Amino acid sequence: MAEKEAKKAIRNVRKRELRALQKADSATTKAGNLQTQVAELTATIETERRDAAREAEVVAERLSETKKKLQRLREQLSRVPSRLERAIQRAVQKQEQLGASVGPGTRCIKSAAGVVEDWARDLIRSLVIKVGVPVTKVPAVFLLVAQALGVNVEDTVSDRTCRRIVLEGGVFAKTWLAKEID
């Protein structure tokens, strides 16, 4: 009987050993799978980190460019009042050269026939082309310039007339250029 129990004990030990070996193999396989997953996740994280770093560089570059552009626009905006002042001074000088009185008094933009005077056309073109005043704002700026100079203006010009005057100046410039080329 002791022999039978010894065989039974040996058999149980072998089964336990076999189960332990199976569990060890299973644990080794799982550990290998986990190591593979860790390696894949590490590679993915590294790739995403590099992509994020590149994207951060692009965003930083765009931000830098935007800041430079904003600075340029601020500088341009700061120069607008002086440009407007110079345009007004040039218009006044031109009027003085033409012999027109710029002192207090009343001026008419249009002749009796309703045609816009040459001095007014020149001022409108200067405001739009040289100073950069939008065509829709030219009548208001024109009146502000006249008030600043102490001149009363009897009539005004429309936006449409201002657009036509600017277009007329472009046609005149092209004609002059063609004449100079010949």
Separation between Cα atoms, residue 36 and residue 13, nearest integer Å: 34
Separation between Cα atoms, residue 180 and residue 3, nearest integer Å: 129
Q: What is the pLDDT of residues 99-133, one digit of tens each?
A: 554 445 667 778 777 888 888 888 888 888 888 88
Lowest mean pLDDT among 31-35, 66-70, 111-115: 111-115
Measure Cα distances from 97 to 58, 91, 94, 116 in Å: 56, 10, 5, 19
pTM for this model (two decimals): 0.40
Q: Are 152 and 108 in contact (CB under 8 A)?
A: no
- The whole-number average pLDDT for the span 147-156 is 77
15 versus 97: the higher-pLDDT residue is 15
Percent of the chain topping pLDDT 70: 93
Q: Are 121 and 165 in contact (CB under 8 A)?
A: yes
Structure confidence at residue 105 (pLDDT) = 62
Structure confidence at residue 146 (pLDDT) = 78
